[in-house]
A and B are shown apart, each in its own frame.
Chain A
Amino acid sequence: MSSPFSSRMPRIAEATVERARLRVVPRRTTRPPRLPFVTLVSLLLVIGVVGLLLFNTSMQQSSFTATALEQEASLLDAEEQSLQMDLDMLRDPQKVAAAAQELGMVPAGSPAFIRLEDGKVLGNPAVAGPDQTMRISPLPTTRPRRLSPDPVILRLPDARRAAR
């Protein structure tokens, strides 16, 4: 009962058949080495985490820088505005006129014009004199009457009559 074919097969074929007969072979367990894979995965993980961390940190860092720069910009902006304000204050015509008067200047007298077509002098030039000075500051405010009231005179009863 060794083979169902034995009766009909020649001897040589029998041997071949014997050899070719299928049988269960043990599974080949050639495991790939674990270490490289684990290393790779953990490396990826570490790179990912560290990268994310670095990215986050750099974002945070640039956010700090942005805030600082924004603050600086608004500070400079404010500084520019106050300087502009100072400049406008210095350009106040009242201030300029007061400074000019301090230097002894007066408004100009009447000027003369030379007409270039025929060289004719138009207008009568006049020298500006001290009489052309104008008052540019307001009059000093007058002291209200109620701050300097009339003296109140109290008539005391006569000393002798009081003694009586």
Chain B
Amino acid sequence: MRSRSRPNSLRGTSLVRLRVALVLIAMVVSVFGARLFQLQGVDARAYAAKAEAAGVVTLTLPATRGAITDRTGTPLAESVDGLMIVADPTKTREDASAIAKLLAARLEVDYFEVLERLRKRHTQFQYVARRVPSTKARAVVEAIDTSGYKGIDVRRDPVRDYPAKDVAANILGFMGEEGQAMDGFELLFDDILAGRDGTATYEQGGGNRIPLGDNSVVSPESGDDLRLTIDRDVQWYTQRVLRQAVQASRGESGAAVVMDTHTGELLALADHPTFDANNPVSSPKEDLGARSLFDVYEPGSVEKVLTASSLIDAGLVTPGTRISIPNQLRRQDRVINDYWEHSRLRLTLTGVIAKSSNIGTVLAADEFTPRGLHRYLSSFGLGQPTRIGFAGEAPGLLPPWEIWQQINQDTIAFGQGVSVTAVQMAAAINAIANRGVYVAPSLVKGSATTADGDTVGSDVATTRRVLSRRAARQTTRMMEAVTDLEEGTAPAAAIEGYRVAGKTGTAQRVGADGMGYDGTFTVSFAGFAPADDPRFLVYVVVHDPRNGGGGGTVGGPAFHKIMTYLLRKYAVPPTGANAPDDPLEW
């Protein structure tokens, strides 16, 4: 019995053991299963994020901002990889003076200012220098590292460089501290210039990529370049001549426009005062834009040629029309005078333009109905923006003809009671130079789309005929009398060997309050050469000159310098023909 029951009981215990073990294993496995479910199913995302934080690096690959170049491809604004040098004052405080000495010796930073920053309390982050070219920055940080100091590091800081500083700064605008576009074309064409940043994600160990680790790269798209119609050398020269003209006449501000007669491309658009685009904060805020596009003023006598050419085109007068000019003219409740005292004069229309007689112009314009004059003037582009591409460009003011009274037509005929921007006026006069065809001015070579969705540029510049060829030619002949050495109002604008057509302007200025004239003047000169085959138009305006100068004495010499430079630079030969000598009096 005992011998038989023994194997049975043995088998029983092993069975029990087996079952117990099975249960234990099942329990352990189910614990594992539950944990697995928790790790993979419930907390998976959190752990993945943790793993990523531990080893995965995501870098922004910054897109290179496109350059803005002049018409020849010379950069006016370009982007350079730069670095900022930052300090952790908790680490630098001990060695502040030694570090500051090193930094001040190698970078253009002030020793005492840096010293103060390196010692600043309660912070772990201080800027030491911004927008340092990266080679320079790395060299400095390396030097500090090898000297055994800690707490100085570099970070990316894109540098937007304007190599010619203030040249064309009024058009280009500038960039903010954080590398964002702030003004001018930088802002207007930001979509084109900026490009798209890329990213690089990879696992990192000890400063190196882990091979076969997760790795993905979205390469950045560089911004496109923007080419302007500006010629950098002409722009520079024009800015310097303008500055001299404004300062010599003790004027308040000024503008100069250089335009290619046939294409309407602006070779230069200068404003004074202007600013250094590399350092916009050092200039007053009101100097940061393009006054030539945003500020309106009354053009004065320069506008007379628009009136005269319209009259000729309408067949109402000819350059030889005889006008008898009294010493003053009573109109409604006002009296119109000429800028010089005279008894009764007998001038032809050419004489009226050459001597810039207000009374003569008003009498000639009597041939027009308000509607007729208005139609011509708006066809010349007055009262509408030029759509050159600048957002918020001033449209100027040309009152609707329905509300004109006699006195309005009279003053508008000689350029008062109508307001323009410098670019608008230059484009209007250019229609006469371009044989009666108005060409919309452009600043962008080719074409580009602004942030507002407008496509602008020399390729899409519109043209329209304003005057007949004949009327334009006759007006040009009259304008040549203006630069006549003996008879004209602007002999200083004449250029040896060339035929030059032009017109002076001296206008009363509307005060800052907008309530009537304040006793100051705007003087200007617009002209083109060679008169018998025009290539360039130059328009110079100076606001509030305090030396008593007029359009001929302030604008004339500046015009002369700029035009001489242009004709020489672009090798425009004189045509060899003689200037006309039409009678001014009868």
Contacts and interface: CB of A to CB of B under 8 A. Distances in A.
Nearest to B211: A59
A86 to B, nearest CB: 9
Interface string A92-113: 1110010000000001101111
A124 B576 contact: no
B278 to A, nearest CB: 11
B564 interface: yes
Interface stretch (B50-58, B239-247, B325-333, B406-414): B239-247
A134 B133 contact: no
Contacts of A134: 240-241, 244, 561
A67 B208 contact: yes
B210 A111 contact: no
Contacts of A94: 164-165, 167, 236
A126 B565 CA distance: 14
B80 A122 contact: no
Contact of B81 (A77, A91, A123, A135): A77
Contacts of B565: 107
Interface in B404-450: none
Contacts of A67: 207-209
A108 B568 contact: yes
Most A C-beta atoms less than 10 A away, residue of B133, B498, B571 = B133
A135 B240 CA distance: 8
Contacts of A112: 497
A154 to B, nearest CB: 36
A75 B574 contact: no
Interface in A45-97: 56, 59-60, 62-64, 66-67, 74-75, 77-79, 81-82, 84-85, 88-89, 91-94, 97
Interface stretch (B108-116, B134-142, B374-382, B454-462): B134-142
B573 interface: yes
Interface in B367-421: none
Contact of A123 (B135, B161, B497): B497
A149 interface: no
B81 A88 contact: no
A93 B208 contact: no
Contacts of B181: none
B307 to A, nearest CB: 33
A123 B232 contact: no
Contacts of B580: none
B209 A92 contact: no
A97 B240 CA distance: 11
B232 A63 contact: no
A139 interface: yes
Contacts of A35: none
Interface string A126-164: 100000001110110000000000000000000000000
Given A93-B233, A126-B496, A139-B247, A60 B211 contact: yes
A85 B134 CA distance: 12
A70 to B, nearest CB: 9
Name the residue among A63, A93, A126, A136 with the largest chain B CB count within 10 angstroms: A93
B133 A81 contact: yes
A66 B233 CA distance: 44
A110 B497 contact: yes
Contact of B208 (A64, A111, A135, A139): A64
A115 interface: yes
B136 A82 contact: yes
Given A63-B209, A78-B135, A123-B498, A85 B240 contact: no
A82 B132 CA distance: 10
Contacts of B210: 63
Given A63-B210, A82-B134, A89 B496 contact: no
Contacts of A85: 80, 133, 161, 163
Nearest to A137: B240
Given A136-B240, A139-B247, A91 B163 contact: yes
Nearest to A61: B211
A62 B212 CA distance: 12
B540 to A, nearest CB: 15
A121 to B, nearest CB: 9
Contact of A110 (B209, B240, B241, B564): B564
B534 interface: no
Interface in B227-253: 232-233, 236-237, 240-241, 243-244, 247
Nearest to B207: A67
B492 to A, nearest CB: 14
Contacts of A34: none
A56 to B, nearest CB: 8
Contact of A124 (B78, B164, B496): B496
A120 interface: yes
B270 to A, nearest CB: 13
Given A59-B212, A122-B574, A82 B135 contact: yes
Interface string B151-165: 000000000010111
Contacts of A124: 496-497
Contact of A75 (B138, B161, B208, B244): B138
Given A63-B210, A66-B209, A115 B573 contact: yes
Interface string B22-58: 0000000000000000000000000000000000000
B496 A110 contact: yes
| Residue among B80, B138, B167, B498 with max Cβ neighbours from chain A (10 Å) | B80
Given A85-B163, A89-B163, A113-B571, 9 more contacts: A79-B135, A88-B78, A88-B164, A91-B74, A92-B164, A115-B573, A115-B576, A122-B575, A139-B247
Interface of A: 56, 59-60, 62-64, 66-67, 74-75, 77-79, 81-82, 84-85, 88-89, 91-94, 97, 107-108, 110-113, 115, 120, 122-124, 126, 134-136, 138-139
**Which 7 residue pairs are nearest across A and B when measured between Cβ atoms?**
A88-B163, A113-B573, A123-B497, A78-B134, A93-B236, A59-B211, A82-B133
Interface of B: 74-75, 78, 80-81, 133-136, 138, 161, 163-165, 167, 207-212, 232-233, 236-237, 240-241, 243-244, 247, 495-498, 561, 564-565, 568, 571, 573-576
